Amino acid sequence: MSSPTDMKIIGKAARRVEGGRKVTGTMPYAADVVAPRMLHVRLVTSPHAHADIGAIDASAALGTPGVVAVYTGRDVHPSGPEPSNRAESILARDKVIYYGQPVAAVVAVSEQAADDGATGVDVSYNLRDAVMDMRAALQPHAPVVRAKNHPAGWDPSQLRTVESGETDVALLPDNVTGARRITRGDVNAGFAQADVVVQRSYSIPWVHQAYMEPHATTATPDGFGGLTIHTCTQGQFITRDVTARVLGLKQSMVTVVGMEVGGGFGGKASLLAPLAGWIALRLNAPVKVVLTRAQEQALANPASGAEIDLKLGATRDGTLVALQGLAILDAGCYRGAPLGLALPSLGGWYKIANVDLVGYEVLTNRPGTGAYRAPGVPQATFAIESAIDELADQLGIDPLELRLRNAVAEGDERLDGTPWPRIGMREVLEGAREHPLWQARLAGEAGIGLAVGSWPGSSEACTAGVRVNPDGTVIVQLGMNDISGANTTMAMLAAETYGVRLEDVRIATGDTGSAPYHGESGGSKVTYTLGPAVMRAAEDARRQTLAIAAAHLEAAPEDLEIVDGVVRVRGADDRSVTVGEIAAMSMDWSSSIEPVHGMGKSAITDEAPTFVCQIVRADVDAETGKVTLRESAMVQDVGRALNPQLVEGQIIGGATQGLGWALWEDLAYDANGQLLAASFMDYALPNSEKAPPFDVRVVEIPSTAGPFGAKGVGEPPIIPGPAAVANAVAHATGRRITSLPLTAPRVLAALQE
Amino acid sequence: MSSPTDMKIIGKAARRVEGGRKVTGTMPYAADVVAPRMLHVRLVTSPHAHADIGAIDASAALGTPGVVAVYTGRDVHPSGPEPSNRAESILARDKVIYYGQPVAAVVAVSEQAADDGATGVDVSYNLRDAVMDMRAALQPHAPVVRAKNHPAGWDPSQLRTVESGETDVALLPDNVTGARRITRGDVNAGFAQADVVVQRSYSIPWVHQAYMEPHATTATPDGFGGLTIHTCTQGQFITRDVTARVLGLKQSMVTVVGMEVGGGFGGKASLLAPLAGWIALRLNAPVKVVLTRAQEQALANPASGAEIDLKLGATRDGTLVALQGLAILDAGCYRGAPLGLALPSLGGWYKIANVDLVGYEVLTNRPGTGAYRAPGVPQATFAIESAIDELADQLGIDPLELRLRNAVAEGDERLDGTPWPRIGMREVLEGAREHPLWQARLAGEAGIGLAVGSWPGSSEACTAGVRVNPDGTVIVQLGMNDISGANTTMAMLAAETYGVRLEDVRIATGDTGSAPYHGESGGSKVTYTLGPAVMRAAEDARRQTLAIAAAHLEAAPEDLEIVDGVVRVRGADDRSVTVGEIAAMSMDWSSSIEPVHGMGKSAITDEAPTFVCQIVRADVDAETGKVTLRESAMVQDVGRALNPQLVEGQIIGGATQGLGWALWEDLAYDANGQLLAASFMDYALPNSEKAPPFDVRVVEIPSTAGPFGAKGVGEPPIIPGPAAVANAVAHATGRRITSLPLTAPRVLAALQE
């Protein structure tokens, strides 16, 4: 294998292998899938956030030309309790629990006919009070989204104390579906030592992943109980397993073809597959479901909002001594809020001797939540990184220096008691300190703030294959659905490892039948865990190639090298054979040589947490409160930048989303549960005009297990944005704003206080 | 691995895994493929067998509503000589060389519009004399199908003597494209010893594979020079490589999706892929080409006809002493007649000391030839097995006994000088002798004849994968296009080897990107060569499963067994874990266990020739000459019947095709080269009313390398039919008919001689 010093491909900028097809519009997406005799589905959704379903009259729909069938929850779930999880809740039956919940599915021969039919489904509702506020949802007598089984003698007016670790939710009110507590030291004693204490409540809205491509799924029955599903998914094996479980099929009977994902950011998994599959099996015909943008906003799986109370104390010299917090994460109407990721991010990357953090997951009458880039961590980070900045201000210590003084390093204890592995928090902060933007602040310029973010990383066992064609081109076989350009990195790793040019490597993503296993593309784990599998597969193919070539060239395998697809005897240029010729020998009639086909696996348990520091310079218009971002610097530890262009793109993309959360995005509902942001006209997204110029600086603290030391890059850059902006605004105005987004009216109100 | 004595699945009848979908019409075929904005192609074909192309006026076609483009050979091959092989001859440019040759392609938005447009293409032709008779084609001054480069001083009137081995065709007339000679001993001396000599000329017509599904191909461009091709092919990697070569693309840029094949029998490979791909790239749009039945009959790649002169001598005691032969195989207008398989089949399975066989491949003004079940061997076998029967009659020796007396056995020298491996010719003949049908002949019943056939077998290196799902179902990953039920056998081998129930195994056939390599499904090599690869992949997955289970159950791997998907400690029923649980452990977030995914390869060089003996009982109507088949017995060495039901089905299917060649089929042309059998009304096929009841008896002489000793089953049963019928008719009538098919007029003429 090539050593890091003589690499031809790794570490150099390479264009995305599929980029050309995307920018020219020739890449097919899930909504482009067609099948013979395919039917189209339009969902009829609830206009209410909380209501009992009465009579449903579908006669007008069924009389609409082209309409084939109308299904309701009574067809899908004819008996038993309504499912309590999103995957199984195909259509509501007795009660709707969020605005936009699918109540009926109209199936027709064309999308237009399905649309027309959907207007002819008349549903009667008996309204209930909705619970939309997560603090209210926590209370004992709030409207109940879904009743739970409490133990005998349970008293709803007694909110039990949350124990260290996880608490049995049966003891908590109906809407409280998760509770955990993290403690260290003695938090009261800690605050007793503190010279300065900051105490604030932070409010973080729900936001939507706001991918360009709406969810689209086509399910094609095989006529014998099996299904093929074409869908946009970040994990086709997950979609397969969920669909098989919900529909009661063997996993081998469901084949999911993961189409190119037109933006996922955590939000694309299995949303429509069970519904489409159920209808396809019922009608024994292919059916396609595509969400409208309004449905996408209302019924997909956006990111949880949070309410966080934080109290942070330090001694005069800048030593953090106590942290107390309460974090409420809103799961919407199904469990799944990222409490387990959010809670340890509340101060987890600072050395604080006394900590007491309590977290709740609560249900409200909103759609279920999904993953969104670094789930839960931006919410927590907004709170802790605002608080520490405010503390620095009160202490009169430079906020970067305060962070450095308390920064964790290798060997420090994490909140779960395990030690931090080697990390780059200090290097990232030092990189930020040297950056001209921070130097400008130090020189007295106003409106400059920063924040730190960290992502723990993740891993999942996976497999990859590498096959060589008779013309010397190389196929990398994957089951991974690329959402971030990872295919390009995999091609680079294979080319570098096997010994061919990058343009001779092609990624082949199989379906859940033909592909090697790969889980979800998420958690910044693809390059970190699939990368080594691809390298091992390429090494395996290389070994096979060299063994055949050694016999052919009458040389020892160890005397051979592969350069640009040619196997050569080192030091004897005239003795060579192409890898294509070798492959051809191994794939022929009567050949005695087995085909060149390598397999590689990985099951990584080494952790590789990453750190990022974002600096933002913002102007605040004193008359309107409008915040304008002038520039931003991102200093991120990426372990090793395999493809600097892709790394920079990921960092800028994530940072832009973080700034969207800071300044514009808010998946707002009114108090009755009506969605106020049902289109991209109402839901404000950052675009290239609003985003500032970014300067990206990478720090390379190699991981132990990632390819060439690489770590995950995707999640961290979204994390610090909201806090960095709030800190910059505070630096510009002296006002501390603790509710996101920092819209002009909100900033103006703060200025006028 | 299970030993042959305790097998649960192998050796027991199992239904075809895809059978249900086929008989209920839910299986999609290549013609069912649709793509967004797909265009349709209708070919304009030549009404002449041999003509120069003059002006082509496509204006009426281009004015037809819905027609998008019309292409001719001048677009596809703008300069240079016209290609001399079928794959590259996308459209004729200067000259048509067979009736039905594509001259133009009309592309339209619907199949109907393409049809309408095709009537509006006006092509001028200047007729040439056609050569349709293969003996005439061999002559120096015959019309020339394609001129060749002869060496200086070459004299067309001198037909060179064919040397032993292969002769340089540049020294032979233009239409002669192949010549080889096989000699052993001294044939003249041999005949000098002979007491009885039979000398005959045999005539075998072209026949068509007559699959139900016409060729259909859809090519979809990726917008960046690459193509995805959905087509019916017996070897998707071959289709890929041919298409890439013809269109000048990298193999990695062409992805072929082999659709279910609706009958292939050797005839489905790459016929339309280069054409569809060329148009798709030219228009940057998906295009579909489906042949009409008339085009299928005229321009596909049917089986070569042959003219064979044979002289066979024996001594009074029934020892064959001399064989002389001339075989002319008609390749149509492109090289590819199976001379290399036909010539050694002329007497190759008899011990004959003196042999002199000469074979020619000639060109005529017919379409190019393709493979058809046991290519070349039924033609040769009709000659030798008729001759030996006639010789037996003249010697007064039972024809079965004469064959037994001269039958080859292990260690005897083949015509290529290599020794026969262990074979079952003697056992097959002995099986036939014991059969009631032959016993009836021995008891004096008339109209009973038999013949022997043999197929050398073949092999090709290949790869397979076996993956285990978290629910315990097993996926077998293949790149093989199933034409014979082989997927069912592969599922059985995987289930037996890994240790799950057959219904828990599913075959996943990937495309040429995602699949492991497999060559053509042909030559009766799939089970023989892919079977071991599947078993090795299953063993590999089993080994991985047991290693994980051993750690989990705290037992040694060698103490574990897998039974019906459960891993158990032998003798401790309470210590068990399902294979699904094991798989789930290996495919999870943060797992330290690599996914269970086995790979197996095979590169078999051991040969496994097979033998079959067919007995036929036929009635001949003395007034009309009509031959009616009453019953037939097939005794075939299959090595090991892995799935007896499938083996029997293959044998009956092949035998029926052999009887079709014997009695009805004839892809007849008139002397000018006009096709006379352009539909299934004109081309007589055996159907269930015409085919006799079959009694199949398998002989199991195990192969050294096949799975559980299995050998190829598919080719042999078509081989002996024509000779067996001719021998039965001779036995019934005393008349020896040497031209196929044995139609009523032909038999009547023989009766009236």
Q: What would the two tokens of residue B402 be?
A: 């004469």
Classify residue B268: in a domain, yes or no: yes
Same domain, B646 and B748: yes
pLDDT tens readout for residues A406-444? 999 999 999 999 999 999 999 999 999 999 999 999 999
B309 burial type by CB count under 10 A (0-12 exposed, 13-18 middle, 19+ buried): middle
Share of chain B above pLDDT 70, in %: 99
pLDDT given at position A482: 97
Q: Report residue A250's pLDDT band, with 50, 70 and 90 as the boundaries.
A: very high
Check CB contact under 8 Å for A32 and B27: no
Same domain, A478 and A581: yes
pLDDT tens readout for residues A185-212? 999 999 999 999 999 999 999 999 999 9
Smallest CA–CA distance, residue B646 to chain A, in Å, is 21
Boundary of a domain, candidates A602, A631, A664: A602
pLDDT tens readout for residues B222-267? 999 999 999 999 999 999 999 999 999 999 999 999 999 999 999 9
Helix (H), strand (E) at residue A437: helix A436-442
Distance CA B41, CA B105 (A): 6
Distance CA B729, CA B622 (A): 11
**HEC per residue, A68-128:** EEEEEHHHHCCCCCCCCCCCCCCCCCCEECCCCCEEEEEEECCHHHHHHHHCCCEEEEEEC
For A469, the closest of B24, B252, B594 (CB atoms) is: B252
Q: Does position B700 have pLDDT exceeding 60, yes or no?
A: yes
Smallest CA–CA distance, residue B721 to chain A, in Å, is 28
Classify residue A664: in a domain, yes or no: yes
Distance CA B633, CA B652 (A): 10
For B461, the closest of A20, A25, A594 (CB atoms) is: A594
Residues of A with Cβ-Cβ distance to B459 under 8 angstroms:
589-590
Number of H helices, E strands in chain B: 20, 27
CB B198 within 8 Å of CB B311: yes
Closest to B426 measured CA to CA, from B412, B408, B451: B408
Would you say the C-alpha torsion A598, A604, A607, A611 has a positive or negative sign? positive
Same domain, A626 and A719: yes
pLDDT given at position B5: 61
Distance CA A650, CA B404 (A): 77
pLDDT given at position B442: 98
A231-A233-A236-A238 Cα dihedral, nearest 10 degrees:
-120
For residue B317, the tally of other CB atoms under 10 A from its CB is: 9
pLDDT given at position A2: 41
Q: Does position B441 have pLDDT exceeding 80, yes or no?
A: yes
Classify residue A250: in a domain, yes or no: no
Q: What is the DSSP letter of A347?
A: S
Q: Whole-number mean pLDDT of chain B?
A: 96
pLDDT given at position A166: 78
Is beta strand B227-232 parallel, antiparallel or unpaired with respect to B176-184?
unpaired
pLDDT given at position B160: 74
Closest to A390 measured CA to CA, from A204, A202, A199, A203: A199
What single letter denotes the amino acid at residue A392? Answer: A
Overall residue count recorded for chain A in this entry = 753
What mean pLDDT do residues B526-541 have? 98
Q: How many domains does chain A have?
A: 2
pLDDT given at position B89: 96
Share of chain A above pLDDT 90, in %: 94
Boundary of a domain, candidates B602, B618, B653: B602
Exposure class string for B12-24: b at 16+ Cβ within 10 A, else e: eebebbbeebeee
Distance CA B344, CA B360 (A): 13
pLDDT given at position A1: 40
Check CB contact under 8 Å for B251 and A473: yes
Q: Does position B43 have pLDDT exceeding 90, yes or no?
A: yes
Residues of B with Cβ-Cβ distance to A461 under 8 angstroms:
586-588, 591-595
Same domain, B589 and B680: no
Q: Does position A564 have pLDDT exceeding 60, yes or no?
A: yes
Mutate to test the interface with B, among A587, A604, A605 (most CBs of B within 10 A): A587
Classify residue B178: in a domain, yes or no: no
pLDDT tens readout for residues B133-162? 999 999 988 999 999 988 888 887 776 788
CB B10 within 8 Å of CB B493: yes
Check CB contact under 8 Å for B587 and A516: no
Same domain, A510 and A444: no
A330-A332-A336-A339 Cα dihedral, nearest 10 degrees:
0
pLDDT given at position A588: 87
Same domain, A444 and A545: no
Same domain, B580 and B721: no
Check CB contact under 8 Å for B511 and A516: no
First vs last C-alpha separation in chain A? 64
Helix (H, G, I), strand (E, B) or coil at B577: strand
pLDDT given at position A315: 98
Check CB contact under 8 Å for B461 and A593: yes
Q: Does position B1 have pLDDT exceeding 80, yes or no?
A: no
Residue B637 Cα distances to B134, B424, B428, angstroms: 35, 6, 7
What single letter denotes the amino acid at residue B728? Answer: A
Q: Does position B48 have pLDDT exceeding 60, yes or no?
A: yes
pLDDT given at position A566: 97
Check CB contact under 8 Å for B20 and A224: yes
Closest to A446 measured CA to CA, from A737, A694, A728: A728
Helix (H, G, I), strand (E, B) or coil at A657: helix
For residue B570, the tally of other CB atoms under 10 A from its CB is: 12
Order of strands across the sheet that contains A39-45: A67-72, A102-108, A39-45, A287-290, A216-221, A227-232, A254-259
Classify residue A433: in a domain, yes or no: yes
For A461, the closest of B467, B513, B591 (CB atoms) is: B591
Check CB contact under 8 Å for B26 and A222: yes
Same domain, B475 and B404: no
Exposure class string for B117-135: b at 16+ Cβ within 10 A, else e: bbebbebebeebebbbbbb
What mean pLDDT do residues B203-218 have? 98
Q: Whole-number mean pLDDT of chain A?
A: 96
pLDDT given at position B2: 41
For A517, the closest of B222, B510, B587 (CB atoms) is: B587
Q: Does position A162 have pLDDT exceeding 90, yes or no?
A: no
For residue B425, the tally of other CB atoms under 10 A from its CB is: 27
Classify residue B488: in a domain, yes or no: yes
pLDDT given at position B431: 98
CB B424 within 8 Å of CB B414: no
Residue A612 φ/ψ, nearest 5 degrees: -145, 145
pLDDT tens readout for residues A74-92? 999 999 999 999 999 999 9
Boundary of a domain, candidates A602, A632, A647: A602
pLDDT tens readout for residues B587-633? 988 899 999 999 999 999 999 999 999 999 999 999 999 999 999 99
Same domain, B564 and B612: no
Classify residue B503: in a domain, yes or no: yes
Distance CA B94, CA B117 (A): 22
Same domain, A327 and A387: yes
Here the CATH number for the domain that contains residue B494 is: 3.30.365.10
Mutate to test the interface with B, among A468, A469, A478, A525 (most CBs of B within 10 A): A469
Classify residue A258: in a domain, yes or no: no
Closest to A488 measured CA to CA, from A502, A474, A468: A502
Closest to A365 measured CA to CA, from A682, A666, A671: A671
Q: What would the two tokens of residue B375 be?
A: 């290519």
pLDDT tens readout for residues A729-748? 999 999 999 999 999 999 99
For A589, the closest of B237, B458, B475 (CB atoms) is: B458
Same domain, B536 and B672: no
Q: Does position B655 have pLDDT exceeding 70, yes or no?
A: yes
Residues of A with Cβ-Cβ distance to B504 under 8 angstroms:
250, 252
Residue A535 Cα distances to A366, A477, A529, A530, A598, angstroms: 44, 12, 10, 9, 10
Share of chain B above pLDDT 90, in %: 94
For residue B574, the tally of other CB atoms under 10 A from its CB is: 6
Same domain, B482 and B558: yes
Residues of B with Cβ-Cβ distance to A457 under 8 angstroms:
none
Check CB contact under 8 Å for B511 and A509: no
Residue B721 Cα distances to A346, A553, A606, B433, B750, angstroms: 83, 49, 67, 17, 20
**Chain A: residue nearest B286 by CA?**
A26
Distance CA A607, CA B590 (A): 9
Check CB contact under 8 Å for B597 and A593: no
CB A206 within 8 Å of CB A302: yes
Whole-model pTM: value is 0.97
Distance CA B534, CA B542 (A): 12
- Provide the domain limits for residue B527: 459-602
What mean pLDDT do residues A489-507 have? 98
What mean pLDDT do residues A274-290 have? 98
DSSP assignment of A351-389 equals --SEEEEEEEEE--SSPPP---SSTTHHHHHHHHHHHHH
